[in-house]
């Protein structure tokens, strides 16, 4: 085992968090640069966990913990551990990291404080980078301070696909983005690939009938592609958040001119089309939402039929158009010969970077854009950048 491991605190051990723990443990102990020093759910924290390869064991230990989560205390806890590990006086920065695998605003609201304490933050949670501009600017300011921690958020866009770090390197090395466009939601991609496919059997349900929209949404949820509440995917907010993250990343990391890059107060400033039926707006329970969606299958069916009459399929796409100052997300029709119709499957995302250097042909990133394994991989990839 390396003599000085990076101390990792994990907040959120749902689908992605549990998979991350497994992936960290899969690195052989003799060269594992990470030591997990706490695990937290929404209610409990387990300090100094014995993290066995069998997740049932650490999950049971966490469930049995009597310690309530105090997000404010977590940064201080890590600082104390690093001091014990390194001897007083040495810096914390680079030696301790909190991984936020929740979708909680409250956890994201702690990043600036943790980073200011020298603790790095790695996360697939979009909230801190796409919500109110003040929170985002607080994170940037905190990271500029002396001895500050770093923040890495690759899995916030395209899950494990190299999107955010690619963009950071692109604009950080002086390239100028003209437009970023594509399919940014694994859930929406899965839904429309399955439900509005090219006519070759796709779009057909078991028994040869047409698939129902609500059934496909239910399966997307079962596969772990959706947000904790699937309405956050279907209302376009998840894509709007990703577009906000990309637009803000250009603004924050560019070394050159950033004139024209839209300045977004929050993801709410993105022109976004919601697919939520009026009657289900505000439904707080994800279970109720999914079970009632079937009441609206006929409405969705009309959309599909209209596209098919025009020889098209439906895809939910997003664009950050720097040249025209537009950021928008919505449902579009594409001819069945278009790459968005023919080349996407499963939860695939496709992201096209049109830049000064990548012109006239864009840089294209494509692959699974949701799911625990690929998302946790992106998180672990960011952790490895701290080593």
Ligand X SMILES: NC(=O)C1=CN([C@@H]2O[C@H](COP(=O)(O)OP(=O)(O)OC[C@H]3O[C@@H](n4cnc5c(N)ncnc54)[C@H](OP(=O)(O)O)[C@@H]3O)[C@@H](O)[C@H]2O)C=CC1
Ligand Y SMILES: N[C@@H](CC=O)C(=O)O
Catalytic residues: 242
Q: Which does 40 bind (CB under 5 to 8 A by kind): Na ion, ligand X, ligand Y, none?
A: ligand X
Q: Per CB under 6 A, does 230 bind ligand X?
A: no
Within 169-198, the residues that bind ligand Y by CB under 6 A are: 185-187
Residue 185 interacting partner from ligand X, ligand Y, Na ion, none (CB closer than 5 to 8 Å by kind): ligand Y
185 binds ligand X (CB under 6 A): no
Among 116, 131, 160, 369, the residue binding ligand Y under the rule CB under 6 A is 369
Q: Which is nearer to ligand Y, 25 or 329 (CB)?
A: 329
Structural tokens at position 333: 């029709």
For the bound state, the minimum distance from the C-beta of residue 126 to Na ion, rounded and expressed in Å, comes to 11
H or E element that contains 313 = strand 312-321
Contact 61, 50 (CB under 8 A): yes
Rounded to the nearest whole angstrom, what is the least distance from the CB of residue 372 to ligand X in the complex? 6
What are φ and ψ of residue 314, in 5° steps? -105, 140
In the bound complex, what is the minimum distance in angstroms from residue 381's beta carbon to Na ion? 9
**Which residue number places its CB atom closest to Na ion?**
158
CA angle at 187 for the pair 184 and 192, rounded to the nearest 5°: 90
Rounded to an integer, what distance in angstroms lies between the CA atom of residue 331 and that of residue 357?
29
Q: Is 385 annotated as a binding residue?
A: no
Angle at 14 between CA 8 and CA 15, to 5 degrees: 105
**Window 156-195: residues binding Na ion (CB under 5 A):** 158, 161, 163
What residues from 199 to 218 belong to the interface with ligand Y (CB under 6 A)? none
The interface mask with Na ion, positions 86-125, x = CB under 5 A, is ----------------------------------------
Residue 237 lies near Na ion (rule: CB under 5 A): no
DSSP assignments along 175-215, one per residue: --EEEEEEE--HHHHHHHHHHS--TTTTTB-GGGSBPPHHH
Q: Give least dist CB 367 to ligand Y, A.
A: 12
- 262 counts as binding ligand Y under rule CB under 6 A: no
State the angle between helix axes of 164-172 and 237-253 in degrees (0 to 180), rounded to the nearest 10. 30
In residues, how long is the chain?
Answer: 387
- The answer to the question of residue 276 lying near ligand Y (CB under 6 A) is no
Give the tokens for residue 106. Answer: 């409250």
From the list 203, 229, 201, 199, the residue with the least C-alpha distance to 216 is 203
Nearest residue to 116 via CA among 89, 134, 90, 93: 93
Q: What is the DSSP string of 342-375?
A: HS--TTEEEEEEEESSS-SSPEEEEEE--SHHHH
- Of positions 42, 86, 285, 359, contacts ligand X by CB under 6 A: 42
Closest CA to 95 of 79, 114, 112: 79
Give whichever of 77 and 136 is closer to ligand Y, judged by the CB atom.
136
Q: How far is the CB of 152 from ligand Y (least distance, A)?
A: 16
Q: Is 13 annotated as a binding residue?
A: yes
Q: Report the distance separating Cα 166 and Cα 172, nearest Å.
A: 10
Kindly tell me which of 62 and 344 has the beta carbon lying closer to ligand Y: 344
Q: Which of 152, 239, 370, 377 binds ligand X (CB under 6 A)?
A: 370
Residue with tokens 């549990």: 18
Number of residues that bind ligand X (CB under 6 A): 32
Site size with ligand Y, rule: CB under 6 A = 11
Q: How far is the CB of 372 from ligand Y (least distance, A)?
A: 10
Residues that bind ligand X (CB under 6 A): 11-17, 40-43, 69, 101-104, 106-107, 124-126, 155, 159, 186, 224-225, 227-228, 370-372, 375
Residues that bind ligand Y (CB under 6 A): 159, 185-187, 225-227, 233, 238, 369-370
């Amino acid at each position: 085992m390396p003599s000085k491991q990076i101390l990792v605190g994990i907040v959120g051990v749902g689908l992605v968090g549990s998979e991350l723990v497994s992936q960290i443990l899969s690195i052989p102990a003799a060269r594992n640069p990470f030591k997990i020093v706490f695990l937290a759910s929404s209610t409990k924290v387990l300090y100094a966990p014995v993290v066995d390869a069998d997740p049932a064991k650490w999950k049971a230990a966490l469930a049995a913990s009597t310690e309530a989560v105090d997000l404010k205390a977590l940064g201080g806890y890590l600082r104390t551990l690093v001091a014990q590990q390194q001897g007083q006086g040495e810096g914390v920065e680079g030696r301790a990291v909190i991984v936020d695998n929740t979708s909680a605003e409250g956890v994201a609201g702690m990043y600036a404080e943790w980073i200011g304490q020298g603790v790095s933050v790695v996360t697939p949670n979009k909230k801190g980078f796409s919500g109110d501009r003040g929170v985002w600017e607080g994170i940037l300011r905190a990271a500029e301070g002396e001895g500050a921690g770093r923040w890495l958020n690759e899995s916030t866009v395209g899950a494990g696909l190299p999107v955010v770090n690619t963009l950071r390197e692109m604009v950080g090395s002086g390239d100028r983005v003209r437009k970023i466009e594509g399919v940014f939601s694994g859930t929406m991609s899965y839904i429309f690939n399955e439900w509005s496919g090219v006519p070759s059997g796709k779009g057909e349900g078991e028994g040869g009938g047409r698939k129902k929209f609500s059934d496909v949404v239910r399966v997307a949820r079962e596969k772990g592609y959706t947000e904790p509440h699937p309405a956050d995917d279907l209302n376009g907010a998840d894509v709007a958040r990703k577009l906000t993250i990309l637009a803000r990343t250009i603004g924050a990391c560019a070394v050159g001119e950033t004139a024209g890059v839209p300045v977004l107060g929050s993801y709410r400033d993105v022109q976004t089309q919601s697919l939520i039926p009026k009657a289900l707006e505000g439904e707080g329970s994800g279970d109720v939402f999914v079970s009632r969606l079937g009441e609206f299958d006929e409405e969705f069916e009309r959309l599909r039929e209209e596209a098919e009459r025009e020889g098209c399929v439906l895809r939910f796409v997003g664009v950050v158009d720097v040249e025209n100052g537009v950021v928008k997300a919505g449902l579009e029709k594409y001819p069945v010969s278009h790459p968005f119709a023919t080349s996407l499957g499963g939860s695939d995302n496709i992201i096209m970077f049109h830049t000064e250097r990548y012109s006239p042909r864009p840089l294209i990133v494509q692959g699974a854009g949701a799911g625990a394994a690929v998302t946790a991989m992106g998180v672990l990839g960011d952790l490895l950048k701290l080593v």
